[in-house]
Amino acid sequence: VDKTLHLDITDPGIGFPMERQVELFKPFTRIETAKGHLFGGVGLGLPIAKHVVELHNGHIQVQSEEDKGSTFTIVLPIEDRLQKS
């Protein structure tokens, strides 16, 4: 039995270039697409999300394609906390 929770978050936005996706989870990274779109913010949201997910023994990954959007997948273990009497 698979005891993991899979959560997909999809953004139908402009997507990220493949060669820059590994940088998304680095603090203070700002990504510019080939078409000159610069993503705003200071680059802390995804690194914080990754850290929180990893604190819960999970992982986060991204699948993205420019002009088609991105899907972030969070996988977390589910602990069976019910005890039999």
pLDDT of 41: 60
Full pLDDT tens readout for the chain, 85 residues: 679 999 999 999 888 888 888 888 888 877 766 566 665 666 788 999 999 999 999 999 999 998 899 999 999 999 766 555 5
- The pLDDT, as a whole number, for residue 47 is 92
Rounded CA gap, 36 and 2, in Å?
42
Per-residue pLDDT at 2: 76
Nearest to 52 by CA among 79, 29, 25: 25
**Nearest to 63, CA basis, from 10, 7, 4, 6:** 10
Q: How many other C-beta atoms can be found within 10 angstroms of the C-beta atom of residue 29?
A: 16
Q: Which residues contact 31 (CB under 8 A, 6 or more apart)?
A: 16, 17, 20, 23, 24, 38, 39
